[in-house]
Chain A
């Protein structure tokens, strides 16, 4: 009896065990793509490339949400660059806008760039190297630099030459990271140049920026090289000049027309729309500094960028406020200006920025292929064109308008005008005078590319920004010097202790928001 039972059990289990062959099919998530799907339609390259592109400035793409943009850009670079004012009514956000950086916000920058950007690049690189695919790898290198330079510009030293180990990765100095950027861009440009000249199109169905036009990608790569070159000018002028002049001299050319701007297509609304319209009736509004400059200059782009408040004017919000009642700052109250976000693009780099970069190179005496004045005025005109604003000529000629004092439309957090810079070019102004004009106009033209706006403010100290009402940084940030960087994500201390230690060592200062980065060397 018992032996029979056992033999039946064994027989039954053998029979059953043999029919678990179908389990592999059942155990897969059929809602997702499988390895074999990726072999189809060049997805193995195209999908990874597009993911890498989407990581440069994230938006609601099905993976990330507008709220991710909110915490990694809007509540960081956007407000610290003076563009926006945080009206996200939590204690954490109020503290954060007064430079007591809330770990979870900049952490998202760190996480997204590695988990979305570097992850896609790593996959793509392995596949391209295995299959000797030259063009996609070169294109991917350019996009990788575009996405990762934001990370080093936020934090400083980062894991770059070494990534991918689950147990953690050591950080490189910011100098090494920037040098790697230049090398990678140089390699990519060299690889792509002949294809650009031949009018080759690659990855056209996947490329959401240039539709696969290699010629445009080379222009973008040269322009990006110029941007990064200028960034390191106070740390290593030779490195800066060499790369800037190489970028300008390259036969592939630079982004010089708005039609060549690196704009992501198919985005729907810019994340700022959702953040202002749908998040708690206005989690973000225009900032006090932007208010001061746009109003003071009587800038025709003013109501392209911002929506008028109920009184028809542009009213910003100062940082570092913590009112007990946030309702007066919300859309319904009509006291402050909301971003006119339906007009915004996800733009990585525009022609106006390139013109201003060349203007700066020109005043430094570098060979930029033109005069500072021309580039400066071109930059303004290109920006007007981009926003669809008229009256650029009168604006360029305006030698009297100055930034206005900030008048709080809700409370009494007023501030004096941060600067007395004017618009019209003045050849007799000194180097700093010219630099301030270029930096100020570039700052306006960069919006809403806030990561770049904040980095350039830190590099040049221009335009002068209105300081937060409260400096909540517990003494780590000097009120006059303003916030210099984001502290590393606290999770790195536990999950990547060696990497974190190497980062702090390379940083050369405390891991707080007041420590200056390697390229941040301009004396105060």
Chain B
């Protein structure tokens, strides 16, 4: 309440202040707009009264200008660097529209920067990468997956949870050990809530991976997004202060256009497993064992693994209606997505309804925009992998001598109990196994979401060079997720009558800001600045109920649950209040100096009885168009720019640490279990970046290169303290994580006869280093941590060490002899584990990634494809280990058919003994035997489109485009037994260990788009 009052007070104050700046003169007012040859607005173009040098303005972000000229002036001169000057007679007009034509090829685009502030691309001192909506052509239910390979400096990994699952988007390397590393999404300048139920700092464990849900961004309809820009670096994102450290993905919502048009599109893709494990078909089971270490089979297996999977599909239908005139425009859209995954039982559905209206009022001085979205999502059985509820474990490990079909009738009538119970006689085999068909049908997870997003903005042009913008948005999401484990499920998952989980999560984020924007030119000097204040309020409430059913089997209601069932309620409230300012000084439209500052007051840092201290985040940058500055312009090098910037940004502080409270269990408040270091601070990243952009050979080739270096301080550690202190946890800041890297991109635009060819190459390399771990003093006692395990198994660990990197994998090994050869027992011919000896296998992150996109347009036909390469990185496959242990892997069969497993160059005949040692039932595998290079090259995307010339036959349909689309079409090179680009989730430690992850999918389909 107080905040709202304050904001309105501020708003009024600012209005009053600027009133005094408005002047009136006895002159003629001419308005107009300056566009380039593509019809895009030119910002910062000079408009001069011809003959009167002192009268001049520059165009605003929409290319508009308003100039007051003495009555004597008869014409205006329009100038813009890189464009030929235009002199236009006023001839009594009060509105003049001018199209300027390039006299050279220069960087002239407009980019959307932090808070939605538009800037001339040449003026920004950091890299801003823009993505048009064509990127979403090969539709994925979560459109963020389409960004993989398109952006330098960004690693996009789809989770193995299938359609609509979370996507891990990390920009310029992981910066935080315990906090969030995923990029911030921003719509029209305002941050979106992440809405992820994953805790990013969670350690890796083999059990989790079920009951997942998509993140907030996956709720959007990509048709509602006009374009995106990626602010990968802290400098670009600096205005988001405590949310800026991980970079920002800026989305602009689609607006209506002048005239009336209706678009209908259908996109249908079919999904099949992209990579499945290679299995043997020669050996069957020993009597009474699930594993396949038995006799050679006399006949070919009667089943194959792929029979379990179904053909997935993803159908998206959307209708968009755009209408508008000179003063207003409206975009209305509706979309429906129906999808099912390749694993039976996995399904996804979504409805989106959007209305976006913009209008110019008060003679074009007041710009109003209203945006409303409703999203309804349903998810069924979203499982990424892991040991619990995973049908792939019994499926992959099933013997070729067994028969999958006999388990297909997964439940049979149990006369004693009077209902059908699970058909499965193998027990859990220490891998929580059940009948795979039972798992997908009778351990079900369903999640429903309703999300409402309502916002509006008002922009008032006080003078041609000054405007005041006020924006507000509220974003409300209700998530209801249920899990039903039917009676006769494994005891770990359900009691005798079944088990029920009923969880509800409510999230609301409300944001409001006011911005005062000014642009003015003083001769050769231009100034652009923004001053603003913002408040963001976030609340989350989760109510979770879980328990065994007590009376009626499989009646999943709260009344039928155990009275002492687990109830958990989590409430979270955060508020951040901020003030910020930016200033950009330009000289001759060739040199720009840029500075921003933001100050955040965060409720999470509020301590009892103390005033909250602000945290200040500054940034500075400079860019110079050297071709203009040094007059180097030539047809070989028409444009070249260099840029440098520095920023300090933050990551959201952990809440509640400042004010310890007593958790209540069984009605009784419990003592506080943690202590917080008295000077606890949020994480802070300081970052430099340097770069250059150039166009060469008359624009044939464009190049962009950036080098960056960031240091992230105040990492959060919770060192173990002695229990004798009576506390279990201590929160302390320490350590530093460094990232540095290079981003390169190149574009070639060349006409090959009648074919327009565009080729883009993106290359990115990041080096992560944990410069410092914990080294501090608590109460005079030195506390140091130089190694920290972030989960794993007895054979592979995600280990953080001083001098190491986030994502390092350590593995145990086979016992070796004094000469370094693998130790083989002289009597039994068996191998053994070297206990508790861990060596570094590598890092899960790539050394570098490269993607190469090509598009060819010939008349009405277009063809585009993208090849993605990832080089370097190591992953460990516990799936492969389990397959070996159970004797179902292809190689376990081949070696048995041959002379044995080659060890030290000689075959070891006892294949069973070897693989039951190294495979260790999967979870106890010897990690070194299952480390794989994650290098892979694939044909990531292919689209082939044809624009049907319908206008020949009818005037009703304006355009009809049909396309063939494909994703993940062909793996060109890959040595790992799983798709290395898959991650188990969006958490920091979810990548690099494959433990029965759901397979990635090959997507093939078509799309039809009709415009009326």
Are B603 and A23 within 8 A (Cβ)? yes
Q: Which of A76-84, A290-298, A314-322, A326-334 contacts B (4 or more CB under 8 A)?
A: A326-334
Q: How far is the CA of A17 from the CA of B916 in the complex (A)?
A: 65
Which of B601, B669, B778, B794 is close to A91, meaning CB atoms less than 8 Å apart? B794
Asked if B573 and A491 make an inter-chain contact with CB atoms under 8 angstroms apart, the answer reads: no
Contacts of A74 in B (CB 8 A): none
**Interface pair A29/B656, CB less than 8 Å apart:** yes
* Residues in B neighbouring A114, C-beta threshold 8 A: 723-726
A62 within 8 A of B: yes
Q: Output the nearest chain B residue to A91 by Cβ-Cβ distance.
A: B924
Inter-chain contact A27/B606, CB cutoff 8 Å: yes
> Contact between B665 and A33 (Cβ–Cβ < 8 Å)?
no
- Output the least CB separation between B393 and chain A (Å): 14
Please tell me if A446 contacts chain B, counting CB pairs below 8 Å. Answer: no
A167 lies within 8 A of B779 (CB): yes
Q: Are B724 and A19 in contact (CB under 8 A)?
A: no
Which chain A positions have C-beta within 8 A of B661? 28-29, 32-34
Per-position binary interface string of chain B over residues 663-677, scored 1 when its CB falls under 8 Å from any chain A CB and 0 otherwise: 111101111010100
CB distance from A42 to the nearest CB of B (A): 12
- Could you say which residues of chain A place their CB within 8 Å of the CB of B724? 114, 118, 159, 162-165, 168-169, 492, 496, 499
Q: Is the CB of B573 within 8 A of A61?
A: no
Please tell me if the beta carbons of B573 and A30 are within 8 angstroms of each other in the complex. Answer: yes
A12 to nearest B CB, angstroms?
Answer: 5
State A492–B721 Cα separation when bound (angstroms): 8
* 0 or 1 for each of B518-557: is its CB under 8 Å from A? (1 = yes): 1010000001010101000000000000000000000000
Does the CB pair A110–B428 fall under 8 Å?
no
* B26 interfacial by beta-carbon distance below 8 Å: no
Q: A12-B533, A166-B779 are in contact. Are A23 and B495 (CB under 8 A)?
A: no
Assuming A9-B581, A23-B612, A47-B669, is B726 touching A164 (CB within 8 A)?
yes
Asked if B365 lies at the interface with its beta carbon under 8 angstroms from chain A, I say no
- A242 interface residue (CB < 8 Å to B): no
Majority SS at the chain A contact face? helix
**Given A12-B533, A51-B668, A166-B727, A495–B722 Cβ distance below 8 Å?**
yes
How far does the alpha carbon of A61 sit from the alpha carbon of B6 in the complex, in Å? 46
Q: Which residues in A have their C-beta under 8 angstroms from that of B781?
A: 166-168
Query: Chain A contact residues (Cβ within 8 angstroms of B): what range?
Result: 35 or more
Q: Which of B289, B564, B612, B659 contacts A20 (CB 8 A)?
A: B612
| CB of A115 within 8 Å of the partner chain | yes
Q: Which of A137-145, A187-195, A278-286 contacts B (4 or more CB under 8 A)?
A: A278-286
Does the CB pair B614–A13 fall under 8 Å?
A: yes
B606:A23 contact, CB within 8 angstroms = yes
Residues from chain B with Cβ under 8 Å of A277 in the complex: 491, 495
Of B426, B577, B725, the residue contacting A164 (CB under 8 A) is B725
Considering the complex, which residues of chain B in the window 692-731 have a beta carbon less than 8 Å from any beta carbon of chain A?
A: 719-728, 730
Instruction: Mark the stretch among A119-127, A347-355, A392-400, A513-521 that contacts chain B.
Output: A119-127
Q: How far apart are the CA atoms of A213 and B409 in the complex, in Å?
A: 60
Which chain A residues border B14 with CB–CB below 8 Å?
8
- B603-620 vs A, CB cutoff 8 Å, 1 = contact: the mask equals 111111101101000000
A33 partner, pick from B2, B9, B573, B669, beta carbons under 8 A: B669
What does the 1/0 interface line of A440-484 toward B look like (CB < 8 Å)?
A: 000000000000000000000000000000000000000000000
B726 contacts A110, CB within 8 Å? no
Nearest residue (CB) in A for B426 is A327
Report the minimum CB–CB distance from B416 to chain A (whole Å).
15
**B606 — which chain A residues lie within 8 A by C-beta?**
20, 23-24, 26-27
| In the complex, A197 has a CB within 8 A of chain B | no
Residue B239 CB within 8 A of the other chain: no
Judge whether A281 and B491 touch: CB under 8 Å. yes
The closest CB in chain B to the CB of A165 belongs to B725
The verdict on B429 contacting chain A, using a C-beta distance below 8 Å, is yes
Q: Which residues of B contact A33 (CB under 8 A)?
A: 661-664, 669
Residue of A nearest to B672 (CB): A119
- Among residues of B, the one whose C-beta sits closest to the C-beta of A277 is B491
Binary flags per residue of B477-497, CB closer than 8 Å to A gives 1, else 0: 000000000000011100100
Bound-state Cα–Cα, A2 to B569, Å? 50
Query: How far apart are the CA atoms of A111 and B603 in the complex, in Å?
Result: 32
For the complex formed, measure the closest distance between the CB of A367 and the CB atoms of chain B, giving whole angstroms.
Answer: 39
A31 touches B570 (CB 8 A): yes
A110, A163, A279: the one within 8 Å of B491 (CB): A279
User: Nearest chain-B residue to A43 (Cβ)?
Assistant: B669
Q: When the two chains form their complex, are residues A280 and B491 in contact, meaning their CB atoms are under 8 A apart?
A: yes
- A8 near B531 with CB under 8 A, answer yes
Nearest Cβ distance between residue A149 and chain B, in whole angstroms? 16
**CA A495 to CA B492, docked complex, whole Å:** 35
Tell whether, in the assembled complex, residue A13 and residue B730 are in contact, meaning their CB atoms are under 8 Å apart. no
Q: How close is B434's CB to chain A, nearest CB, in angstroms?
A: 11
**Chain A residues with CB below 8 A from B570, complex form:** 31
On whether the beta carbons of A63 and B778 are closer than 8 Å, the reply is: no
30 of the cross-chain contacts (CB-CB < 8 Å) are: A5-B531, A16-B6, A16-B577, A17-B614, A19-B577, A24-B659, A27-B606, A27-B607, A28-B661, A33-B669, A46-B668, A51-B670, A91-B794, A92-B794, A111-B723, A113-B723, A118-B726, A119-B671, A119-B727, A159-B722, A166-B781, A167-B778, A167-B780, A168-B722, A280-B490, A280-B492, A281-B427, A281-B491, A494-B720, A495-B722
Binding site for B on A (CB under 8 A): 1-2, 4-5, 8-9, 11-13, 15-17, 19-24, 26-34, 37-38, 43, 46-48, 50-51, 60-63, 89-92, 110-111, 113-116, 118-120, 122-123, 159, 162-169, 206, 266, 268, 277-282, 324-327, 330-333, 489, 491-492, 494-496, 499
